[in-house]
Amino acid sequence: MNVAFHGPVYVPVDGRQLAEHELAAHHWVVDRLGRHLVRDSPYVVPSDTLSVEQAYALDITWVDQFFGGIVPFPFVGTKLVSHPLVATHASAPQGWRHQHPHRLSGLVVPGWGAFSVTDLHEAAGRLLTDGAVRLKLGEGRGGGQQWVVSDLASLQSLLDGEAALVAGIEAGVVVERELTRQTTLSVGHVILPTLSLSYIGYQREARDSQGTSHYGGSRLCCSRGSLSMLLATLGDPRERLAVEQASAYHDAMLEAFPELVISRANYDVIQGFDARGNWHSGVLEQSWRIGGASPAEIVAAELLSTGNRQHVETAYVECYEADAVAPEEAEIVYRATRAVVDTPALTYVKVQAS
């Protein structure tokens, strides 16, 4: 990279306003990368996935020069890349490849993508025959901008009263089978200049003072090397299935979009039951950018890069309680200076006891 800096540099990407705790986590990751893992070579940490044009402007030409992903079309970096449209003549963005989502059958939760109100009604109608469905704005983050409907009447009421949903339809909405008694696992792979690691983890739920549920962090079991190397260490059949699905999803994406460059991949895999009692497991969405689990990823990378350690467990935690206190062995990433209902009061990272 012919740029005038050494070590990691943070690059804000236009398009999304970051919350204060997210920005703090991003800068914490950049600082730790510079201290321990990427000291002298130019290295870019974008706040979001990059377009091919943005990567070119930053002189990124290889996977170990940045932390995140490069996508050929905007929708590829969103939830919408995982599901087919209701018809080949349905509304679709530039670059849509109709055959690609069908390759993901069995790897994702049953669902559809929609870019118009008509297609949204059709997609919901197909799934509602077997129970409730979840609507998600394709560009939504962290569990926000999602709604559950049980019939077409409640869908219409939502369209009549929810401005955010209506405004987001043109950019894309995912319509997905709603699951109960679910567990959300995180499967990830990170490539750094000095090493690569893979992990399986479990997400934590947190609630604010109003009782609203939020992403509350992740506990990760990390290993040196590829997802296939991680798979060889796992005995739990449901964890093995999650890693197999995430790995196959990753490969299918690279096959469908050869322009993709991914150095940080995180796949949320949900496992739970539908209204008929059928158990499902599938990739909910991908994240090819710095994310909620990244502080825990970087701490794991530091430990795996020194000595002969092959495995390590780390955790990143977000607390919404105003009086939250970090454990003595933890490192604080963010502490709020004022109370905000839907924002964490404290975030920290720690190494889990062996």
Over residues 30-79, the pLDDT tens digits come to: 999 999 898 778 899 999 999 999 999 999 989 999 999 999 999 999 98
Does 140 fall in a domain?
Answer: yes
Same domain? For 201 and 326 the reply is yes
Same domain? For 221 and 86 the reply is no
* Integer Cα distance of 232 and 152 in angstroms: 45
Average pLDDT score over residue span 164-184: 92
Same domain? For 199 and 347 the reply is yes
Does 43 fall in a domain?
Answer: no
Kindly report the CA angle at 79 between 75 and 83, in degrees rounded to 5? Answer: 90
* Integer Cα distance of 134 and 123 in angstroms: 11
Domain boundary among 146, 161, 179: 179
Domain boundary among 179, 203, 237: 179
Domain boundary among 115, 146, 179: 179
Residue identified by tokens 């709020």 is 336
The enclosing domain of 100 has a CATH number of: 3.30.1490.20
Which carries the bigger pLDDT value, residue 294 or residue 168? 294
- pLDDT for res 18: 87
Does 343 fall in a domain?
Answer: yes
Same domain? For 155 and 272 the reply is no
Residue 166 has pLDDT above 80, yes or no: yes
Average pLDDT of the chain? 91
Local confidence band at 152 (pLDDT 50, 70, 90 cut-offs)? very high
Same domain? For 272 and 313 the reply is yes
Q: Of 179, 164, 48, 172, which Cα lies nearest the Cα of 108?
A: 179
* Integer Cα distance of 58 and 218 in angstroms: 31
Using left for φ > 0, alpha for ψ between -120 and 50, and beta otherwise, residue 238 falls in alpha
pTM: 0.92
Over residues 121-131, the pLDDT tens digits come to: 999 999 999 89
29-66: burial string, b at 16+ Cβ within 10 Å, e else:
bbebbbebbbeeebbbbbbbbbbeebbeebebeebebb
Same domain? For 197 and 342 the reply is yes
- pLDDT for res 141: 66
Which carries the bigger pLDDT value, residue 191 or residue 41? 191
- pLDDT for res 142: 59
- pLDDT for res 16: 73
The enclosing domain of 318 has a CATH number of: 3.30.470
Over residues 242-271, the pLDDT tens digits come to: 999 999 999 999 999 999 999 999 999 999
Residue 188 near residue 265, CB atoms below 8 Å: yes
* Integer Cα distance of 135 and 306 in angstroms: 44
Same domain? For 208 and 311 the reply is yes
Does 71 fall in a domain?
Answer: no
Same domain? For 120 and 269 the reply is no
Does 249 fall in a domain?
Answer: yes
- pLDDT for res 59: 93
Does 17 fall in a domain?
Answer: no
Same domain? For 345 and 211 the reply is yes
- pLDDT for res 5: 60
Same domain? For 152 and 287 the reply is no
Using left for φ > 0, alpha for ψ between -120 and 50, and beta otherwise, residue 131 falls in left
Average pLDDT score over residue span 218-237: 95
Same domain? For 235 and 197 the reply is yes
Does 190 fall in a domain?
Answer: yes
Same domain? For 224 and 123 the reply is no
Residue 183 has pLDDT above 80, yes or no: yes
Domain range enclosing 174:
78-179
Over residues 296-319, the pLDDT tens digits come to: 999 999 999 987 888 999 999 999
In which element (H, E) is residue 161 found? helix 152-161
What is the total count of domains within the chain? 2
Does 39 fall in a domain?
Answer: no
Give how far Cα 299 sits from Cα of 28, 219, 240, 309, Å: 11, 12, 24, 13
CA R_g for the chain: 20
| Cross-strand partners of 44 | 9, 66
